[in-house]
A and B are shown apart, each in its own frame.
Chain A
Amino acid sequence: MTLEHFINEAISPWMLEDGPDKDIVMSSRIRLARNFANVPYPILAGQEKLEEIREFFENEYAHQSFHTFENLEFVNVRELTPVEKSVLVEKHLISPHLVRHTEEGAVLISENEQLSMMINEEDHIRIQVYFPGLQLKKALEHAFNLDDWLEEKVNYAFDETKGYLTSCPTNVGTGMRASVMMHLPALAMSNQINRMIPAISQLGLVVRGIYGEGSEALGNIFQISNQITLGKSETDIIEDLESIVNQLIEHERTARMHILERSEMRLQDRIFRSYGVLQYSRIIDSKEAARCISDVRLGIDLGIIENTSGNILNELMVLTQPGFLQQYANRTLKAGERDTLRATLIRERLELEK
């Protein structure tokens, strides 16, 4: 797999696979933060040290395979164009931090795009593993295996009482951030989600929008993750997260049934209007697109819209992001131009489904 492929395809191969509760849970992610024991963290390390680390990963792991994560592609972030960088961010393969705050950043991406290992981000190593649907346990198992594989060659910064030593004190201990991306249109429509978020945060979990910290819940997509990394085992953290996610799934399903029972015609109207907007509009901004895509996805889940694949939400969400649009156009676009191209791409994509 080449960089070209990562950039040109909006949807990652693993997203097409089935997963439990995939209609509501789009993906599960495990991220582990790790560091070399005897090298200053990227925030302080000199350019030479960071280059050394980057080269180490290129030499040792480029084109290697580990279990289902095959043929790791090594990408030096510095060599990417601005548009390529935003596409990788939009696909969640690298973080905005890796683009903005480091000169020596790199990433290793597996062929199925399920594994991405960021080098010289806030920590020396950030292992990220994605699974479709709600599969936190499986994701953790794979992340742990990868972690052991890396440890064969890397001396980790680890302390008996403090655990894995990370650059930011919010990650110390397990160094793990487990997160789940959920599509919760009915809870958002009935405004229940706003009442649930404070309760969830009291349990040491965080609810955020799709592009992480500070981002809003575009298209009713919420990211739920653990905040605490010290004092609890990875398995316990994941079990807590999973139990909350399962409750949210239940509530979302109930809310969907309620809306369907009480105001089916209005719901149908809303869904088909959004479908119409996506099918026929000539100019559409990203917010409106996200809202309509969410409605259509709900329509597909409830059987109101037929003959369209549910994966379309995942695909269109990425396809309609600024970076991806510019990659498609092969040049930088002004906001107005993007809105026109976005409308065109969505129309064409929906045409393919017919």
Chain B
Amino acid sequence: MECQECNERTATLHFKRIVNGEETIVKMCEECAKKKGFVPYPEDGYSLHDLLTGLFNFDNLKMANPSGNQINQVKDLQCSSCGMTFSEFKKVGKFGCAQCYESFASRLEPIFRRVHAGNTKHFGKIPKRAGSDLHVKRQLKSYKEELQHLIETEAFEEAAKVRDKIKALEKGHREPEAGEDI
């Protein structure tokens, strides 16, 4: 199909125009459409980031008041550490500091769920120093599961060994906590 404007290139875009209830269909190639101002091409293309900030704004729809009064300030959350507000976060799609995760916690779950296919909990690496407590916790959990399994299978000798490991870990875990400097 030929472009109705230049009659040269193939028409790849179809526009439906409704003026006073009268419908007309225009078929154009991309170039003519651009020239005629039919297509608002963004300069850098549509990035993942644009898509995401779009996602964050989902609750903007709810904020439009049916009576027509614009409610712009529905108690905006603000980060106590860096001062970023939740509306600013939604606009730029970036947190201002690590504390923002705490400050905006009540509004973040749906965002994480959308971005990370329903996931909201970290399952990966734990830093050695910053997460040393967590390392012990995870280790304890895995020992306890092992212990449970050994008891169920009546491997009591093994179970005793694991129990000792748990005790040692719990003991060792408490002591350094007192003089910790992280």
Contacts and interface: CB of A to CB of B under 8 A. Distances in A.
Interface of A: 35, 37-41, 43-44, 122, 144, 147-148, 151-152, 155-170, 172-174, 176, 204, 206, 213-214, 228-234, 236-237
A144 B125 contact: yes
B121 A174 contact: no
B179 interface: no
Interface stretch (B28-36, B127-135, B141-149): B127-135
Contacts of A41: 94-98
Contacts of B93: 168-169
A155 B94 contact: no
Interface string B9-50: 000000000000000000000000000000000001111110
A160 B120 CA distance: 12
Q: How large is the interface on B (under 10, 10 to 19, 20 to 34, 35 or more residues)?
A: 35 or more
4 tightest A-B CB contacts, nearest first: A231-B119, A163-B122, A157-B98, A230-B116
B129 A155 contact: yes
Given A167-B95, A214-B44, A158 B119 contact: no
Question: Is chain A's interface secondary structure helix, strand, loop, or mixed overall?
Answer: loop
A122 B94 contact: yes
A230 B122 contact: yes
A158 B146 CA distance: 28
Contacts of A148: 128
Contacts of A213: 47-49
Quick one: which of B49, B97, B117, B128 has the most chain A CB within 10 A? B97
B108 interface: yes
A289 B119 CA distance: 43
B117 A204 contact: yes
Interface string B109-120: 001100111111
Given A160-B134, A229-B116, A40 B97 contact: yes
A37 B98 contact: yes
A213 B51 CA distance: 12
B84 interface: yes
B107 to A, nearest CB: 11
Contacts of A232: 119, 123-124
Given A40-B97, A41-B96, A44-B82, A230 B112 contact: yes
B101 A159 contact: yes
A173 B122 contact: yes
B119 A167 contact: no
B96 A43 contact: yes
Nearest to B42: A214
Nearest to A229: B116
A143 B116 CA distance: 22
Contacts of B48: 170, 206, 213
18 contacts: A40-B96, A147-B127, A151-B129, A151-B130, A152-B129, A156-B127, A165-B98, A167-B94, A169-B52, A169-B112, A169-B115, A170-B115, A172-B116, A174-B122, A206-B48, A228-B117, A231-B122, A236-B123
Contact of B118 (A144, A158, A167, A231): A231
A213 B44 CA distance: 10
Contact of A231 (B46, B120, B126): B120
Question: Is chain B's interface secondary structure helix, strand, loop, or mixed overall?
Answer: loop
B129 A40 contact: no
Given A40-B97, A168-B93, A231 B117 contact: yes
Given A37-B98, A169-B115, A214-B47, A161 B123 contact: no
Contact of A169 (B108, B126, B134): B108
B182 interface: yes
Contacts of B122: 159-164, 172-174, 230-231
Given A164-B125, A173-B122, A234-B124, 10 more contacts: A37-B98, A43-B92, A148-B128, A151-B127, A151-B130, A156-B129, A162-B101, A173-B119, A204-B117, A214-B45
Given A173-B122, A214-B45, A231 B116 contact: yes
Contacts of A40: 81-82, 96-97
Contact of A230 (B49, B81, B120, B131): B120
Nearest to B48: A213
B97 A231 contact: no
B141 to A, nearest CB: 13
Quick one: which of A43, A162, A230 has the most chain B CB within 10 A? A230
Given A148-B128, A169-B108, A214-B47, A228 B98 contact: no
Contact of A163 (B52, B124, B128): B124
